Amino acid sequence: MNITVIGTGYVGLVSGVCFAELGNQVICVDKDPEKIDLLNAGGIPIYEPGLKELAAANRVAGKLSFTTDLRNAVRRSDLIIVAVGTPPLPSGEANLAYIEQAALEIADAMNGYKIIAVKSTVPVGTNERLGSLMRGRTGMPFDSISLPEFLREGSAIQDTLHPDRIIIGADNPGAAEAMVELHRSLTEHVVVTDIRSAEMIKYASNAFLATKISFINEIANICEKVGADVTQVAEGMGYDKRIGPSFLKAGIGYGGSCFPKDTSALIQIAGHVDYEFKLLRSVVEVNQDQRFNVIRKLETIFNGELKGKTVAIWGLAFKPNTDDVRDSPALEIIQHLLDNGVKVRAYDPVAMANFRTLFGKEGVIWCDGALETAQGADALCLLTEWDEFAEIDLGELQTVLKRPILIDGRNVFKEENLIGTEFIYYSVGRPSLNQGVRQQVPVLLF
């Protein structure tokens, strides 16, 4: 098929490259000329393993091109995939300004029948509204498809080429069949449904995954008080096929450009139809509080006196294998430490530049490596589970820290890693490892 993808963020770029890899002719459009120049020079504006190589191979093969010229791209394509941002407004609702603008630009460029497929995450009813907007602008025929995207950053190519399912929301059987055909080689689980249900599947999926994370984080918090180990609890729960093992990793809570924004948006979507989504409100509240467990542990260790201490931070991205720092828990944790007079030393293997730009404030000592960050610190907090941190020599780490205090916000280290070290170690929901492996589990008082 001849495809135009509008927006070269994660979703647009990865989809465009993967559709080219699958044998389609793809034009990726962005209104940001710097991004397009970079892409045309062989660069990639995001850190995503394998993407640069796959993009280069498809460009050389003549199946993939990049441009700012939306009009020309649309006129040369049968399928237009919209993948522009839908960031949160201060109210928590999705900001639809970019997608509405894109829809109008597509309408103005139309020169015949097109399928317009929206991959951006949009509130229920948005595709219909965009269709009306476009019909007010053009007499050209088109069909709307809701084509929600489920890729994860860091494993985006694998997720796109081997998805768990493809969801196609359509009100025209012919357009739906064309989309089924396009995705046929990827998975046997292709669900064709109505447009509103497809839009809801995306929000419901993210809300459910966020719920799993907040659930296991609360179990972890209880584990800390009753002397159980959340990693063992999660393993034991996960073998039950009805529960499943994934998204049961306790930590400092979820971040990123999707879960925080999409949970807030779904609460708003429900509110607009007079439904209070109480469960999801609690999920968000638990998540917001979870990141402050790191601070609470530091306060316990330092008897409430953080002022004047030096704290090293390992990991700024919201998860490993990405340089995305949108809604990363590290933003709030570092801000809180600075507000309380702590000297912060920070490092991330790939997300430093993005973090510095988004954080936008002075006062942090930015370091070039993991051991350098720990140098002379009173405590070290691990916030992102990059392999580089898991592979560190704890014996050497202990010698560079002023005090061997390690707060492992992602349960990266195991008991055997700590044996023979002097670390005062706090993890999440594993009280038997807290304050060093020598400490006994707390006594239960009934």
Ligand X SMILES: NC(=O)c1ccc[n+]([C@@H]2O[C@H](COP(=O)([O-])OP(=O)(O)OC[C@H]3O[C@@H](n4cnc5c(N)ncnc54)[C@H](O)[C@@H]3O)[C@@H](O)[C@H]2O)c1
- Which residues are known binding-site members for NAD(+)? 30, 35, 86, 121, 153, 261, 326
**Closest approach of Cβ 346 to ligand X, in Å?**
23
Distance CA 334, CA 330 (A): 6
Q: Which range binds ligand UPG by CB under 6 A, 223-231, 248-256, 411-419, 425-433?
A: 248-256
Burial 81-104, CB ≥16 within 10 A → b, else e:
bbbbbbebeeebbbbbebbbebbb
Question: Does residue 286 sit in helix, strand or coil?
Answer: helix
Q: Which of residues 51-80 bind ligand X (CB under 6 A)?
A: 70
Beta strands in 222-342 (DSSP E): 310-314
Phi, psi (rounded to 5 degrees) for 167 = -110, 125
319 binds ligand UPG (CB under 6 A): yes
Q: Which does 251 bind (CB under 5 to 8 A by kind): ligand X, ligand UPG, none?
A: ligand UPG
**Closest approach of Cβ 37 to ligand X, in Å?**
13
251 binds ligand UPG (CB under 6 A): yes
Beta bridge partners of 142: 114
Q: Supply the DSSP symbol for 94.
A: B
Q: Which of residues 285-344 bind ligand X (CB under 6 A)?
A: none
Each residue 229-258 as x (binds ligand X by CB under 6 A) or -, in order, gives ----------------------------xx
How buried is 152 (Cβ within 10 angstroms: 0-12 exposed, 13-18 middle, 19+ buried)?
middle
Distance CA 136, CA 155 (A): 39
Q: Which of residues 374-393 bind ligand X (CB under 6 A)?
A: none
116 binds ligand X (CB under 6 A): no
84 binds ligand X (CB under 6 A): yes
Q: Which range binds ligand UPG by CB under 6 A, 66-74, 107-115, 258-266, 396-404?
A: 258-266
Distance CA 175, CA 196 (A): 16
318 binds ligand UPG (CB under 6 A): yes
Task: List C-alpha distances in Å: 423 to 297, 315, 418, 419, 427.
Answer: 15, 19, 7, 9, 12
Binds ligand X by CB under 6 A, chosen from 7, 251, 409, 429: 7
152 binds ligand UPG (CB under 6 A): yes
137 binds ligand X (CB under 6 A): no
Joined tokens for residue 180 = 């089924």
Q: Which of 411, 380, 214 is nearest to 312 (CA)?
A: 380
**Closest approach of Cβ 261 to ligand UPG, in Å?**
8
Query: Which of left, alpha, beta for 225 (phi over 0: left; psi -120 to 50: alpha)?
Result: alpha
- Under rule CB under 6 A, how many of the chain's residues touch ligand UPG? 21
User: Of 21 and 262, which has the nearer Cβ to ligand UPG?
Assistant: 262
User: Of 378 and 385, which has the nearer Cβ to ligand UPG?
Assistant: 385
User: Of 65 and 257, which has the nearer Cβ to ligand UPG?
Assistant: 257
Contact 43, 35 (CB under 8 A): no
30 binds ligand X (CB under 6 A): yes
Question: Residues 18, 258, 367, 381: which is the catalytic one?
Answer: 258
Residue 223 appears among annotated catalytic residues: no
Distance CA 431, CA 229 (A): 7
Contact 430, 229 (CB under 8 A): yes
209 binds ligand UPG (CB under 6 A): yes
Joined tokens for residue 53 = 């190589």
Contact 428, 293 (CB under 8 A): yes
Given the rule CB under 6 A, which residues bind ligand UPG?
Answer: 121, 149-153, 206, 209, 213, 247-249, 251, 254-256, 258-259, 262, 318-319
Question: Residues with catalytic annotation?
Answer: 258
Given the rule CB under 6 A, which residues bind ligand X?
Answer: 6-12, 29-32, 35, 70, 83-86, 98, 101-102, 105, 119-121, 149, 151, 153, 257-258
